Amino acid sequence: MIARYKRREFIKATCLTGLGLIGSNLLAVNDPKQNNKEAGNNIIIDKVHTKLEDGNIHSTPYLRMDSGTDGPSLLLIAAQHGNEVQGVEVARRFKEFCAGNLVAGNVWIIPMADLRAVRSRKYTVESTPEKRFTETNLNRSWPGDGSGHDNQRIANSLNREIVRHCTHVVDIHCWEHYRAAETLSESNNEQAAVMAGVTTTRFISYGVFPENQNTNITIRRYMSATGRAAVTIELAGQYQMREDQVLIGLSSMINIAKQLGMIAGEPEILKDERAVRTKETSYEITAPCPGIFMPANRSDSNETLSPDDYVVKGQQLGHIIGEENLKAVPVFAPVSGYLWHLGLCHWNLCDTMLSAQHPYADKGDTLAVVIKT
Ligand SMILES: [Zn+2]
């Protein structure tokens, strides 16, 4: 709640509430027959073309904005997975913000990177409700291969036309709704850590990339392997658009652009402590018996707790209605901290198949994870 309130204040302070008023001409998509590189306000809207395995041409739309002054080349890439769509709206608002505020460098935006998967309304074109992850994952296809599978071909042409020009990348994904938004960074990439340090997700984690694989990797790892900087932002919730998540994405993008000197002003970072997710700070709460899990209400309202909420040690997080004796068995927060995960997500597919979000827990199933702060 605190974090959300502050994000709203941040948006107010940066006058973003009136975004719809900025440059309505910017919303007009260029007629493809025209030379769209002549677009006004230094915004180019164009497409990257890729020849697919079947010989058809696939076109990925993007836009680029140039301040006219030297500086970083920042890429926002979203929807590399077709069911992770909240970054598309972040991209739209960031574009409008930059149109009036970019003072150095240039911004590239690919809002729907795997447009084929977006059109098919799935994680990848080949995904099914029971099998989300497939070999043809765009974000395991970098830096691409012009004669590989379709997403390797698309990565190859996006790299040739866009990514190779970029010094910094923000890759926006969405994970399942039972988790809170998180920034994924690296402990061995200083430039990336600088970007990650100003994002506005409550949660952050730092990984280390192994060095022995340089093909069919994520865009973040590809940037790192080529001496550049990238962070991933996982917003919360697939197959949906949520204002609170879009604001996290937008305020993070603006902060990064400020941090890189591309927009005037200082980043507005979260006032309260950030929850750094590590093995040591993660406290898992599991089902004490089989039954139906009901989350508890927030202490200050009749709404149920949700990911991102702060809880104190001993606070009730919910209860299991046991199938043996139909009694409610409460579960409590073992430490004070922020809820990173709340609720059931069977087989990691709770935003893909309905039975995966069923609130029936087997004994030992994870009900919640609190990150100690
Ligand atoms: Zn993803």
* Per-residue model confidence as pLDDT tens digits over 136-189: 999 999 999 999 999 999 999 999 999 999 999 999 999 999 999 999 999 889
Mean pLDDT of 242-253: 98
Final residue before a domain boundary, out of 230, 259, 288: 259
Between the CA of 36 and the centroid of ligand 1 the distance, in Å, is: 31
Distance 365 CA to ligand 1 centre (A): 24
pLDDT band at 2 (very low <50, low <70, confident <90, very high): very low
Q: How far is the centre of ligand 1, averaged over its atoms, from the C-alpha of 17 (Å)?
A: 28
Answer for the pair 71, 257: CB distance below 8 angstroms, yes or no.
Answer: no
Q: CATH no. for residue 318?
A: 2.40.50.100
Neighbours of ion ligand 1 (CB under 5 A): 81, 84, 173
Q: Are residues 241 and 293 in the same domain?
A: no
Instruction: Say if residue 207 is in the same domain as residue 294.
Output: no
Q: Decide if 98 is inside a domain.
A: yes
Q: Residue holding tokens 């809207």?
A: 45
CA of 24 to the centre of ligand 1 (A): 31
C-alpha distances in Å from residue 296, one per residue of 282, 286, 301: 20, 15, 11
The predicted structure's pLDDT at residue 212? 77
Residue 265 lies in a domain: no
The residue-averaged pLDDT of 21-42 equals: 41
Q: Do residues 212 and 288 share a domain?
A: no
CA distances in angstroms from 59 to 36, 72, 119, 142, 158, listed in the order given: 15, 26, 13, 18, 10
Q: Are 252 and 310 in the same domain?
A: no
CA distance 28 to 51: 27
- How far, in Å, is the centroid of ligand 1 from the Cα of 135? 14
How many angstroms does the Cα of residue 275 sit away from the middle of ligand 1?
21
CA of 332 to the centre of ligand 1 (A): 31
Residue 295 Cα to ligand 1 middle (Å): 27
Instruction: Tell me, in angstroms, the distance from the centre of ligand 1 to residue 89's CA.
Output: 16
Is residue 316 within 8 A of residue 332, CB to CB? The reply is: yes
The dihedrals phi and psi of 6, each to the nearest 5 degrees, come to -65, -35
Interval between CA 186 and ligand 1 midpoint (Å):
17
> Ligand 1 centroid to 9 CA: how many Å?
29
Are residues 153 and 39 located together in one domain of the fold? yes
Rounded distance from Cα 118 to ligand 1 centre (Å): 12
Clarify whether residues 309 and 368 are in a common domain: yes
Give kind and range of the element (H or E) at residue 286.
Answer: strand 282-286
* Neighbour tally for 121: CB within 10 Å: 11
What is the band of 20 on the pLDDT scale with cuts at 50, 70, 90? very low
Query: Would 189 be classed as within a structural domain?
Result: yes
Q: Is residue 271 part of a domain?
A: no
Predicted confidence (pLDDT) at residue 38 exceeds the cutoff of 60 = no
Local confidence band at 35 (pLDDT 50, 70, 90 cut-offs): very low
**pLDDT of the residue at 18:** 37
Output the CA 306–ligand 1 centroid distance in Å.
21
Q: Compute the distance from residue 339 Cα to the ligand 1 centre, in Å.
A: 21
Does residue 235 sit in the same domain as residue 282?
Answer: no
Q: Is the pLDDT of residue 11 over 90?
A: no
> What local confidence, expressed as pLDDT, does residue 39 receive?
39
Q: How crowded is the C-beta side of 109, counted as CA atoms within 13 Å?
A: 23
Q: Which of 39-43, 300-304, 367-371 has the lowest mean pLDDT?
A: 39-43
- The pLDDT, as a whole number, for residue 132 is 81
* Structure-token pair, residue 135: 């070999």
Residue 172 or 22, more confident: 172
- Cα of 81 vs centre of ligand 1, distance in Å, is 5
Q: Do 39 and 181 lie in a common domain?
A: yes
CA of 87 to the centre of ligand 1 (A): 11
pLDDT of residue 27: 37
Nearest to 92 by CA among 115, 72, 114, 110: 110
d(CA 202, CA 347): 25
pLDDT tens for residues 184-224?
999 889 999 999 999 999 999 998 887 778 899 999 999 99
| Boundaries of domain holding 66 | 2-259
In a domain, 282, yes or no: yes
Q: Is the pLDDT of residue 62 over 50?
A: yes
How far, in Å, from the CA of 349 to the mean position of ligand 1?
13
pLDDT > 90? residue 12: no
Distance 256 CA to ligand 1 centre (A): 20
Domain annotation covers residue 264: no
Ligand 1: centre distance to CA 291 (Å): 31
- 132/181 same-domain check: yes
CA of 137 to the centre of ligand 1 (A): 9
Say how many domains are in the chain. Answer: 2
Res. 37: pLDDT tops 50: no
DSSP per-residue string spanning 89-106: HHHHHHHHHHHHHB-SSE
Q: What is the mean pLDDT of the chain?
A: 89
Q: Is residue 273 part of a domain?
A: no
How far, in Å, is the centroid of ligand 1 from the Cα of 173?
4
User: 16-30, 127-141, 341-355: which has the minimum mean pLDDT?
Assistant: 16-30
In this structure, is residue 171 part of a structural domain?
Answer: yes
Residue 133 CA to ligand 1 center (angstroms) comes to: 10
Q: 36: pLDDT confidence band, cut at 50, 70 and 90?
A: very low
pTM for the whole thing? 0.89
Of the candidates 259, 293, 326, which is a domain's last residue? 259
8 A C-beta contact, residue 98 and residue 65: yes
Residues 181 and 145 in one domain: yes
Q: Give the mean model confidence (pLDDT) for residues 334-349.
A: 95
- pLDDT band of 41, cuts 50, 70, 90: low
27 C-alpha to center of ligand 1: Å? Answer: 27
Are 318 and 188 in the same domain? no
Same domain, 325 and 255: no
CA distance 283 to 369: 5
Above 60 in pLDDT, residue 357?
Answer: yes
How many angstroms is it from 174 CA to the middle of ligand 1?
A: 6
pLDDT at 113 > cutoff 90: yes
Q: Quick one: average pLDDT of 289-295?
A: 98
Question: Residue 26's domain is classified under what CATH number?
Answer: 3.40.630.10
